[in-house]
Structure 1
Amino acid sequence: MLRNQEVQIYLTLLLSISVIGVTVAVLFVSLPAAGLVLALSVLLISFSLIFTKWRYRQIEKLSSYLKQISSGDFHLDVRDNSEGELSLLKSDIFKVTRMLSEQGTLLQEDKAKLTNAISDISHQLKTPLTSMIVMADLLRDKRLEDGKRAEFTRNLQVQLERMEWLVSSLLKLSKIDAGTIFFKKEKVLVAPLIQAATAPLLIPMDIKMQHVKIGGDEQAAFIGDFNWTAEALINLIKNSVEHTAEGGEISIHFSENALFTEITISDNGKGIAKEDLPYIFRRFYKGKNAGDDSVGIGLALAYSIITSQHGDIEVNSSPGVGTSFQIKFYKQVI
């Protein structure tokens, strides 16, 4: 403590004031007065040193606390119920410690999610890549029949398109998670939006002889991004098409009220098992009724797009009865 330059300056000032006080008392008052001034000066300096030493001990404790924090121990509580600058400092340090602890937990969760995502992506890409390698080897055989060659070529095309869709969807999800996508905030009429979302799926619907019913308030609208919302709806409608049998029915209804604009997509397909409902919007999650070609990314992408625009999506489903997705875009954030 005494090696601290600030303490040395402080003691020098106290000693100087004491010497001046004693000298003035000797010259202008009396020797007893000088003795009293000297005693008071010694007492004052002693108490100052004791108090300074106590503060240094408190600071050393805080320094030790910070070292423990830097080593990863966030469970210490340095707060006290007294008043004063040190107590305020302790409280502020504790708040920062809690914040660092929460951030550390979030980083660990993000790291685990990244590890799982990489594992899932590797698994999803491994299957089509293996299939493509096998088919490419077979296509090298000059004795291969033309029919088989055409079949393998079509399969290669299908696998390539599937990989392209998977990589594109993962890239979009990553951009949304990173906050690098800025959704437009413009008036979107729901009727043209539904037309844009159903157009790419008309052929698959026709092949399965499915009927689609579209109806609602032609003036219904919300503030959002037309193209990205269409992307989300395509994935939701595509899910209904894939899980509805031939000759099935898909219904899309939309409306607007004072609080929100609602879009409901319903089907009379296989439905979703009750135990799968809480997890269907998780990326790479595949429920019991998921098809063999399902990747588990479409619904996750739709969920991210909708919620990023201050929307909400709910699902109701019963196995063998059908599934209904309810999308709400609120007039304001509530």
Structure 2
Amino acid sequence: MLRNKEVLHHLITMCGISLVGIVAAAFLSIAAAILALMISVLLISSSLFFTKKRYREIEKLAEYLRKIHSGEFTLDVRDNVEGELSILKNELYKVTIMLSEHRSLLQKDKIQLTNAISDISHQLKTPLTSMLMMSDLLSDPELPPEKRTEFTQNLRNQIERLEWLVSSLLKLSKIDAGTVQFKKEPVQVEKLLQKALENLLIPIDIKELIVNLQGEKTTTFLGDFHWTLEAIINILKNGVEHTPVGGTITISYTENILFTEICIADNGIGIEKKDLHNIFKRFYKGKNASNESVGIGLAMAHSIITSQHGDIEVSSKKGEGTSFKIKFYKQVI
């Protein structure tokens, strides 16, 4: 404690003042000098006692910080009494709680990242393995022309699937990182839906699906046209894939003072009840998912819509179809 220059200077100052007081009291009487000496000793002793006590408290705080640094976030240093040290303890405890929460979030993010990398590796492995096998078969000079054409087409399909998967993952990572600047412009819903249907005309024609559009041409919402188009295409694609030949997809849209709502409903095979709460999770494949599905389209649609302060809900009955309701609110509170 005495190695601290501030404490040493404080002690020297007190001793000096006490000495002056004792000398001054000695001019009055010996008894006054003795009394001054006793008072000075008591004052200096009490000052050293409280200084030493404070040093002990500071040492406890230093030990507390060392334990926090080593990862012990369950400690509680608060004493709930008055004084600047107590205020400091309370502030340190608040910082400890904050660090603990940040550590939990980082640990959760780490687990999610590990799972995502594992899922991505699994999704990439299948097309890559298939492409490797087909490239080996194509290298055979005695391969019949019809087989060569078939394998070449399959190889092209796998490359397109791989390109779509990588592109989708990049878009999702941008949304997660918050680097996507969503525009807030008036979007005409009818134009948005017609543009989305243009991208699915071929599978719609092949399955001879009936598409009904119901809504006012003046219906609009504030959002990003191109990113919302991406979300709508993925939802419509899900409906087209799970609707039988000759089925119907009904798209209705309305607008009120609170929100603009888009409803996409089909009369397809529906979604299992146990899958409803998971269909927006990445890489989740329900019982009725196709073999080509990677479980990322609906996850992307959910991220795009919610990032624009929108909301998406799904309801379904097995064998009766599925309905997606999308709401874009006029004002976010």
- The question of a shared fold, defined as TM-score above 0.5 by the shorter chain, is answered with yes
Residue 77 (structure 1) aligned with residue 89 (structure 2):
no
TM-score with structure 2 setting the length: 0.97
Q: Which amino acid aligns with 2:217?
A: E
Question: Which secondary structure does the structure 1 equivalent of 2:280 belong to?
Answer: coil
Give the match for residue 138 of structure 2: 139
Q: Distance in 2 between matches of 1:170 and 1:100?
A: 31
| Residue 31 (structure 1) shift | 3.2
Q: Distance in 2 between matches of 1:207 and 1:322?
A: 20
Point out where structure 2 has 5 or more consecutive residues left out of the alignment.
none
| Residue 38 (structure 1) shift | 2.1
Per-residue CA deviation, residues 154-173 of structure 1 (Å, 9 max, x unaligned), is: 11111111000000000111
Q: Equivalences for 1:150-165 in 2 at 5 Å?
A: 150-165=149-164
Give the match for residue 183 of structure 2: 184
Q: Which amino acid aligns with 1:9?
A: H
Q: Equivalences for 1:99-114 in 2 at 5 Å?
A: 99-114=98-113
Give the match for residue 300 of structure 2: 301
Give the match for residue 284 of structure 1: 283
Give the match for residue 203 of structure 1: 202
Question: Which secondary structure does the structure 1 equivalent of 2:172 belong to?
Answer: helix
Mean CA deviation greater in 314-323 or 178-187? 178-187
Point out where structure 1 has 5 or more consecutive residues left out of the alignment.
none
Give the match for residue 88 of structure 1: 87
Question: Which secondary structure does the structure 2 equivalent of 1:329 belong to?
Answer: strand
Give the match for residue 261 of structure 1: 260
Q: Equivalences for 1:186-265 in 2 at 5 Å?
A: 186-265=185-264
Give the match for residue 19 of structure 2: 19
| Residue 41 (structure 1) shift | 1.5
Give the match for residue 123 of structure 1: 122
% identical aligned pairs: 65
| Residue 199 (structure 1) shift | 1.3
TM-score with structure 1 setting the length: 0.97
Q: Which amino acid aligns with 1:215?
A: Q
| Residue 142 (structure 1) shift | 1.9
Mean CA deviation greater in 137-146 or 239-248? 137-146
Q: Distance in 2 between matches of 1:329 and 1:30?
A: 93
Q: Which amino acid aligns with 1:159?
A: Q
Q: Distance in 1 between matches of 2:19 and 2:288?
A: 93
| Residue 266 (structure 1) shift | 0.7
Q: Distance in 1 between matches of 2:189 and 2:89?
A: 55
Per-residue CA deviation, residues 26-53 of structure 1 (Å, 9 max, x unaligned), is: 34x4333332222212111111111111
Q: Distance in 2 between matches of 1:328 and 1:205?
A: 25
Q: Which amino acid aligns with 1:198?
A: L
Q: How many residues align?
A: 333
